[in-house]
């Protein structure tokens, strides 16, 4: 069983059994966005969580070590996403990416926002009476550093 | 003068004169991220702001209507960004994009986070004593809707 | 069962049973273009409609929750379509896309025509005695707006 | 002078002089969308119209035969457009292209909507109190036909 | 059964049974190039012809409606063909495409050679004692026309 | 002066002076399609013809050896052409390329139609009262041959 | 059975049975490079040779007509090869391709080295005591020729 | 002056002055293919040779250190060459690349033909009375070797 | 069994049985990085090692000659890697590749670092109290050399 | 002046004046690889160093703030490098990238080698009497970490 097969099994079993992502995250006691990403093949699950998920979703036993292994990450089927929900995030990158780069440098110095020591949150706000999706990227600032010996 | 030429003139004049992006945003009284994106060629400037910027940065008069026109948006020179600071945002999309899609649908229904009725903020947080860059995407939820006549 | 497999099953079962798209749209009481797109994998079906379709087309029960889930959208196998019927729409975009952009901005302001709060219609006209295909894109105008807090 | 240089001159002179596309279309007495596309380099102008435009926009005399020649068409700088206003049209093609193909075949037979014997219109509608952009593609139906000798 | 599967079945059954394309074209009484393209998945077959082909090539009954449906056209696995026999046609396009464009415009006006109201023929000629392949593209001239209402 | 610069000079000088391609072909006594392709940068001109063309079009003397040198061939700015007039030829290749390959092999054996020992003609026909563009590819058949020593 | 399946069967059966390519070439009495290319799916085998190969490698009978048919040629899975042994040939093309073009034209005139009337040989040489691979491309010179009628 | 500018100057000056590549190779006493590649920007010239070439071709003095520096190699403007003379070499790679890989491994072991310790020759042969271009790749065999410490 | 299938079998069997790469390298007495690469499909295994691995991982007997054959190398599914761990190596190449080229030439002369006579090591270092990954590329310097006859 | 123009000026002035990269690194007292990368446009220079470099290389005063600004990083003109010296590093990534990923995870856990807190060194070794290039990547291990609030 490959990780892609394990992911496909999770996706269809979740729909068939009617679990929400929130219920699966609660079941293993891990943050919601992290759990969803992990179950979509982007993070290894702790072995115990892998076993719980396999049980809940009736996955075969051989899925457990596969879910617990570090996966080959990168979840988009094409370099530029075609799905409109995901595309809007890419569009924001096209329109605001260079501005964010300038401001990270102006406010923090030469470096990057880590995508490894990093968390994402999804929330909700209201502006002018309309419901807004709020997505927060929160990553450690890593200054460019050339280690001395 | 094309918009690309106007952007290049802004970029090099800003460096030569030593303005921060914050100073330019303050000068025209507009939000910081919005201003930086606009000056990098992604939004039209109100005519008055265009005149102020042209004055501050010694741009020729013909730049003013160019800066005030709606630009052809999209600021990345390649579909996948090569600059590490910008790439990390793309990487977050590769790793978390499908998870964000699932959760927008689970929490808001079938639809998207608008990138048009939308704002971005950049801020700062501390976790475990380390400085973090916090980027907030805040866009109106737009449900898929097939208008009745 | 993945959504792609469900779509393939719909496509071949429809041909084998000889249903028109119009008949399927009538069966579930939804607009014709919307239904065709949904059955080709681009929209979730309401659970009841999914059940009706599964029955009409003899799809297995497990297809129902798959059809009712929000799909990963984007229905073209290549970025530039090779099929001549679809290509003509892409060609119109190549030839008239920049003009439409200019005129949306001139007539509505800085913003976009939504593809989410949006409907498409296909009809028929006659010019100089020849039959014409008339396709209408009708999307809400969304002005660029940077929400104040 | 190449056609690309002529287009660039039109774009910047129009902004500098403050003409709307509608005014330019009125000046030469041609439809609005057609005129905008032609001035953006997608159609030849009749020689008289080319002369009028050159005069209005202060283009050099050598621009006239260039504007009157059939151009190399195709106005997008990348195969997938990055500008959000244009992208939405591409997105509609990704989501609804295959459905439109099926329905053209179901309602008209095997063939295409011509993009040559073709016009585009942009208009306005209101649904649920919201302003909508309405774009109409109107092209002759061309049935696949293998001419007998 | 998908159309791709039907095409694959035709290709291997034809080889196994030793039919020439000419024999298959004669069997259904249709032009040779048209028939070959149709059997390679590029045109719908009239239902009766589909039945005849299915019988001759021992295809399952479910192939008949698939062969009779309008296919998703475009028969090259890569945008630039790698097969030398097909590549020479692409090379001719690279070397002579712009010249043909200029001459279509000079001799017929602004418009295109239709690829829909169109036929192709393959024949033979002798020049300087050498056998030549002669391929004739014969398509209706379609002038650019913006229909008046 | 590069060949690209020489081609650009020919293109704009031809328009300014109002020559047809036919007139230029007649001036040097060479076939029409060949001459057009050569002047668009795809074939070397015999030195005398290069001189005649340079004189007719007021090109600088240094253009003559450039026009007489073998060029780097390939005249399309993108692998898939965007111009509709040229695209139709590419579309014919997508739809009929595999069929032409099969028929070249069936009628001539394993080999190719040469694009080197090759000529192209453009003509006119009438079918059902409509004017047709007829393009003839005529290339030597080259059988695959593994030379013995 | 498709040609790709036949090739895959040859590749794994050859390894399992321990034949060298030389032994297979000897078995059918054809040149070594030609045979290896043909068995990797690039040339049709004469029917008798196809039968011999099928017997030696235990291929099913239905493989014989497939091996004897003209294949769709082009054996690289990506446009730029990733395998280092094959890449070096591509690198030579990148570094020396334009030089070879200039010298073919200087020494032979305007034309090409045929890849159809063509053979390849692989041999061995010693320079400065080191073993060298020597690959010889030997193709008929084809001068550009526009046939007179 | 960049190396690309130096190459362009060499190309046009060579044509204007009427030198053959052979004459330039003789002038600096280096092999013909090597010299042509070097002058097309693929190898550094020894400083003395650079001076000789600069003198012969009237290049400015600042060209000498540029020609003597190691260039950024890779001479094709697109990954797949469009020029027919160069394309035939790429086609040979597509058709025979995998076979050459197998035979290098069968005859020499696991390794590659070096493209660094490497020479190319162009010559002439006659088969069946026809003139052939013969191109010889001659590169050191480099076996895969994992150095022990 | 193809090499890709053999690799997939190794990957999932290793996870199911809980072997580390180090244990597999120790089992066959070969360097760690080399063994991991070989088992991921990048090097042939000596036949005895192939048998040992097949036994340890319960692979079918037919895997042995497949593992012992020279593979088609190149282990990344896309030209630009999407996995963050691998991407950082590509990013280093984007940022430092041109500098490494300059310094190889300055310190060693015109040539390359071989990737064939080459080894890679992975180790550990501490700088400022933080654990660092140290990857060492060690390849023979190969000077550009044009062999004399 | 853009950063690309500044880099081009550095490259040609360095050649004209005959400085080595080592001399420039010594002049500003910074590590060799870092300095070379910075002068090739990949790192900002401290303002004082920028002034020193501008003086040594006769760059205009306006170059100083440009060199001191954080650049848009990514120094390869194509996604897959064509230059052989740089390509070998990409090839190592193709062949060993997946293995390095597995071993980083086996030896350090789930995470990456930073390319930001990172240094590169180039050195020399001898194996079996042959000179080797040794390139050391040394980056902080960053474990995947989802910060708790």
Q: State the pLDDT at residue C89.
A: 98
Q: What is the pLDDT of residues J22-81, one digit of tens each?
A: 999 999 999 999 999 999 999 999 999 999 999 999 999 999 999 999 999 998 999 999
Q: State the pLDDT at residue F46.
A: 97
Calculate the alpha carbon distances from J147 to A22, F45, G89, H106, J116 in Å: 19, 70, 49, 54, 20
> Which of the four pLDDT bands, split at 50, 70 and 90, describes residue F122?
very high
Contacts of F34 in chain G (CB under 8 A): 146
C-beta of residue I104 within 8 angstroms of C-beta of residue J149? no
User: Which parts of chain F are beta strand (E)?
Assistant: 111-127, 130-143
- Bridge partners, residue F89, by sequence: none
C-beta of residue D56 within 8 angstroms of C-beta of residue D19? yes
Q: How far apart are the first and last CA of chain F?
A: 44
> Which of the four pLDDT bands, split at 50, 70 and 90, describes residue I148?
confident
- Which structure tokens are listed for D132? 């909508």
d(CA C132, CA D19): 34
Q: Does residue C124 belong to the interface with chain E, where contact is any CB pair within 8 Å?
A: no
Q: Does residue E8 belong to the interface with chain G, where contact is any CB pair within 8 Å?
A: yes
d(CA C148, CA F5): 52
Q: How many CB pairs under 8 A join B and I?
A: 10
Contacts of F101 in chain G (CB under 8 A): 70, 72
CB–CB of G88 and H114 under 8 A?
yes
Q: How far is CA G102 from the centre of its chain?
A: 25
SS3 content of chain J, % helix, strand, coil (to 5): 50, 20, 30
Query: In H18-144, which ranges are continuous DSSP H helix?
Result: 21-28, 32-39, 47-56, 63-68, 84-108
Q: State the pLDDT at residue F75.
A: 86
Mean pLDDT of each 10-residue bin along chain E, 149 residues long: 96 96 98 98 98 98 97 95 98 97 98 98 96 98 92
- Which structure tokens are listed for E26? 């004669």
CATH topology for H3-68 is 434 Repressor (Amino-terminal Domain) (1.10.260)
Task: Give me the residue spans of the domains in chain B.
Answer: 3-68, 84-143
Whether the pLDDT of residue D149 is over 80: the answer is no
- Which structure tokens are listed for J108? 């350090």
C8 → closest Cβ in E2, E147, E148: E2
Mean pLDDT of G100-109: 98
SS3 state at B40:
coil
Residue I29, burial from CB neighbour count under 10 angstroms (0-12, 13-18, 19+)? exposed
Q: Does residue G66 belong to the interface with chain E, where contact is any CB pair within 8 Å?
A: yes
Which residue is associated with the tokens 């099913």?
G60
d(CA H76, CA H83): 10
Whether the pLDDT of residue D148 is over 90: the answer is no
- Which structure tokens are listed for H29? 């006493």
C-beta of residue J121 within 8 angstroms of C-beta of residue I101? no
Q: State the pLDDT at residue G149.
A: 67
Mean pLDDT of G70-80: 95
Asked whether at least 3 C-beta pairs link G and D within 8 Å, the reply is no
C-beta of residue F92 within 8 angstroms of C-beta of residue E115? yes
For residue G4, give the H/E element and its range.
Answer: helix G3-17
Q: What is the pLDDT of residues B91-149, one digit of tens each?
A: 999 999 999 999 999 999 999 999 999 999 999 999 999 999 999 999 999 999 999 86
Which residue of C4, C5, C72, C77 to mutate against A (max A Cβ within 10 Å)? C72
Alpha carbon dihedral F83, F88, F91, F93, in 10-degree steps, equals -110
Whether the pLDDT of residue C148 is over 90: the answer is no
> Radius of gyration of chain G from Cα atoms?
18
Whether the pLDDT of residue F14 is over 70: the answer is yes
Torsion-angle region of I82 (φ positive above 0: left; ψ -120 to 50: alpha; else: beta)? alpha
Q: What is the pLDDT of residues A9-62, one digit of tens each?
A: 999 999 999 999 999 999 999 999 999 999 999 999 999 999 999 999 999 999
- Which structure tokens are listed for F32? 């029409």
> Which of the four pLDDT bands, split at 50, 70 and 90, describes residue H149?
low
Q: What is the pLDDT of residues C35-44, one digit of tens each?
A: 999 999 999 9
Q: Among candidates F41, F19, F43, which has minimal Cα distance to F31?
A: F43
d(CA A39, CA G63): 43
Q: How many CB pairs under 8 A join C and E?
A: 31
Q: Does residue E15 belong to the interface with chain G, where contact is any CB pair within 8 Å?
A: yes
- Bridge partners, residue J135, by sequence: I137, J122
Which residue is associated with the tokens 């070499």?
H89
Whole-number percent of chain B with pLDDT over 70: 99
A106 → closest Cβ in B22, B96, B131: B22
Q: What is the DSSP string of D50-112?
A: HHHHHHHTT--TTHHHHHHSPP-----SSSS--SHHHHHHHHHHHHHHHHHHHHHHHHH-SEE
Q: What is the pLDDT of residues D99-131, one digit of tens each?
A: 999 999 999 999 999 999 999 999 999 999 999
Q: State the pLDDT at residue A148.
A: 85
A69 → closest Cβ in I15, I77, I132: I15
Q: CA of B145 to nearest chain D CA: how many angstroms apart?
A: 11
| Angle between the N-to-C axes of helices F84-108 and E21-28, in degrees from 0 to 180, rounded to the nearest 10 | 110
Q: State the pLDDT at residue I105.
A: 98
Mean pLDDT of I14-32: 97
Alpha carbon dihedral I40, I43, I47, I52, in 10-degree steps, equals -30
Q: What is the pLDDT of residues C56-90, one digit of tens each?
A: 999 999 999 999 999 999 989 999 999 999 999 99
d(CA C18, CA H111): 58
- Bridge partners, residue B113, by sequence: B141
Average pLDDT taken over every residue of chain B = 97
- Which structure tokens are listed for H121? 């020759």
Q: State the pLDDT at residue F118.
A: 98
CB–CB of D8 and B2 under 8 A?
yes
d(CA I79, CA G80): 10
Q: Which residue on chain A is closest to B18 by alpha carbon?
A: A106
Q: What is the pLDDT of residues G49-72, one digit of tens each?
A: 999 999 999 999 999 999 999 999
Residue B13 appears among annotated catalytic residues? no
Which residue is associated with the tokens 């013969």?
H134
Q: What is the pLDDT of residues I89-102, one digit of tens each?
A: 999 999 999 999 99
Q: Does residue H9 belong to the interface with chain F, where contact is any CB pair within 8 Å?
A: no
Which residues contact residue A138 at a Cβ distance below 8 angstroms, ignoring those fewer than 6 apart? A118, A119, A120, A121, B125, B127, B132, B133, B134, B135, J147
Given CATH 3.40.50.2300, say whether it is the number of domain G84-143: no
Contacts of J132 in chain H (CB under 8 A): 147
Q: State the pLDDT at residue E148.
A: 85
Whether the pLDDT of residue A140 is over 90: the answer is yes
d(CA B54, CA B62): 9
């Amino acid at each position: 069983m490959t990780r892609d097969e394990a992911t496909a099994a999770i996706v269809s079993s979740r729909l068939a059994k009617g679990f929400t992502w929130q219920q699966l995250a609660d079941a293993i006691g891990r943050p919601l966005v992290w759990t969803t990403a992990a179950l979509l093949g982007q993070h290894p699950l702790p072995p115990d969580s892998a076993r719980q998920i396999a049980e809940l979703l009736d996955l075969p036993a051989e899925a457990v070590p596969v879910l617990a292994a570090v996966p080959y990450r990168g979840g988009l089927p094409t370099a530029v996403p075609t799905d409109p929900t995901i595309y809007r995030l890419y569009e924001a990158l096209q329109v605001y990416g260079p501005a964010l780069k300038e401001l990270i440098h102006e406010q923090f110095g030469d470096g990057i926002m880590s995508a490894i020591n990093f968390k994402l949150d999804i929330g909700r706000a209201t502006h002018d009476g309309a419901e807004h999706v709020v997505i927060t990227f929160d990553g450690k600032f890593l200054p460019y550093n050339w280690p001395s010996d």
